[in-house]
Chains A and B, each alone.
Chain A
Amino acid sequence: MAKALTFRRRYRQELQAYAFLWPALLILGLLMVYPLLQVIRMSFYEVSLQKETWVGLDNYAQLLKTSLFWQVLWQTMLFTAGSVILHLVIGLGLALLLHARINARVRNFMRGLLIIPWLLAPTVAGMIWVLMLAPFGVVNGLLASLGILDSSATINWLGSPETSLLSVTAMNVWRAFPFFMVMLLAGLQAIPDELYEAADIDGTTPLAKFWYITLPGLRGVITTVVLLDSIWTFRAFDPVYVMTGGGPINSSEVLATAIYFDAFQKLKFGYASAEATVMFLILFAVSAVYVRRAVREIG
């Protein structure tokens, strides 16, 4: 009795905390941790719907030998790097414009309008771009009107291997830049005005102010959003699946769609699990950097 009491007293905080935490931990444990272990396990098997056969590292060996896997990995990196860099450039540009001394109402209104692309489902955004990029679509039409393109030699943006990945990247840049814009605007608003006022007294040029005050002030936010966006883009499935299905001839395939097709069309669950495990390891390495930063910030 007395012992039970001291136990309860000693671990009071723990007992109370886990009384509130257990539903969340149970759900995430069952639906995140268990499936993850399951995928890693399956990557050592040959899996069909009826049975599983142990094959050791065969799936991985096959994966590393397949040149398509390396091609897809490279394309995923291009897609990610292109998206993240342009998100940062466009997001920062618009954030700076919105942060300039303009009317607060105009600022909120413009910010609201500019967030709209980010509200659209990737499937919806993808479909709008499929429409715009069609051979007789508005993008070719615009290029023809401007005289850049001969109207008889239209570009099949999504249908040719040279431009398919570029087109998907363009759509993804457009859909997700508002996230950067909003985050960087919040970051800009957090930089104290006194720093700029002091620089004005010293007669600093705008470029120097940007370089020595604005950029250092945004460093934390930029690192956070770049890491997050890299992870999100690297694992993205919808844009490619909706716009090109990975084609033509795999020219726009990324890891997420390749895993999906290997698993659910070719029914190579074991091989797809090996691919997914490799993808997880790559993401985990990037996430580790982010998680360390985030936990330090939360304290």
Chain B
Amino acid sequence: MRARRRGAHLAIYAILVAATIIMLFPVAWMLTVSVRPNVEVMKIPPDWIPALFTLEAYNKVLRSGRYLRTFANTYFVALAVTLVSLFIGAMAAYALARFRFKGQRAVLMFLITTQMFPLVLLCIPYFQVVVKLGLYDTLTSLIIVYVTFTLPFCILMLRSYFAQIPKDMEEAAMVDGCSRVGAILRTLLPLSYPALIGAGLYTFLLAWNEFLFAVVLIEAWEKRVITMAIYSLMAEFVTDWSMMMAFSVLASAPLVIAFIFLQRYMVRGMTAGAITA
């Protein structure tokens, strides 16, 4: 019995490791292609391990001012979207968690419904409005547009977290002479940092990876974000796979690194977001 259980145990580890290797193969392939000369890439049978290790592709990307610019743009947009969504989202979430008011149910339904919108539908009117306002080809237009689809998620996730924190401390702070805003800043927000980090990370991820609106609202190279740059690379240099993979590695690294350190919050964010929503 014990031997059998031990065997089953080992089998589980073996299957899990095998499955992980298969699932991570595309990521590993991206990494190996990024560090080998381009001529080695397309081969049958493939060379599994680079015959020649070179960082030339990374060098090409990092020396190009044009590509570095897209990274700066993406950081700027993603950080701005995260801060704005968290700020406005926390306010709205507080209202939904702490007050009972007319229209509360309708607001909740509205928020959940907006998460289901086909975003391509919004492209046409956004494009027209953005052109009319003279915001075409500006990062501002991207920030405004991204906030619309990250905000509902932030609100719902923070709402569920705020609702679990007892009111007593805020009320005590208010009895002691704090204003409501002061009470929120001093008691509620410090307690909800896990939710703020989780929602913030997820918002950052969505903004960092967004592609559709960037394609519709941005044209000039100085304003492009990384997802667009990757796509343009593919159109321009169909054959320079090492460079494209190096760019992909650099574009994914910030998220993967952030995730390694903040996995707990992120996983909680994912599950809370979908279970409440």
Contacts and interface: CB of A to CB of B under 8 A. Distances in A.
B101 A276 contact: no
A25 B107 contact: yes
Nearest to B26: A128
Contact of A121 (B116, B209, B234): B209
A32 B271 contact: no
B8 to A, nearest CB: 9
Chain A interface mostly helix, strand, loop or mixed? helix
A24 B9 contact: no
Contacts, number: 287
Interface residues of A, number: 102
A142 B46 contact: yes
Interface in B169-224: 180, 205, 208-209, 211-212, 215-216
Given A138-B46, A224-B275, A264-B216, A98 B116 contact: no
Interface string B25-36: 011011001000
A77 interface: no
A42 interface: yes
B45 A119 contact: no
B23 interface: yes
Contact of A242 (B101, B121, B231): B231
Between A154, A224, A237, the greatest number of chain B beta carbons within 10 A of the residue's beta carbon is seen for: A237
B51 interface: no
A27 interface: yes
A24 B44 contact: no
Interface string A179-196: 100110010000000000
Interface in B33-55: 33, 41-46
Interface string A224-268: 110010010011011001100000000000011001100110000
Contacts of A286: 116
Contacts of A136: 42-44
Interface string B81-123: 0000000110110111001111111011111111011111111
Nearest to B160: A298
Chain B interface mostly helix, strand, loop or mixed? helix
A286 B193 CA distance: 34
Given A136-B43, A295-B108, A127 B234 contact: yes
Contacts of A235: 117-120
A13 B16 contact: no
A117 interface: yes
B62 interface: no
A290 interface: yes
A231 to B, nearest CB: 5
Nearest to A29: B110
B112 A128 contact: no
Interface string B127-150: 111000000000000001101100
B75 interface: no
Nearest to B155: A24
A276 to B, nearest CB: 4
Contacts of B266: 115
7 contacts: A14-B101, A36-B122, A106-B13, A119-B259, A132-B29, A179-B270, A279-B118
Given A24-B92, A31-B122, A36-B117, 6 more contacts: A114-B24, A127-B230, A137-B42, A140-B44, A276-B124, A297-B276
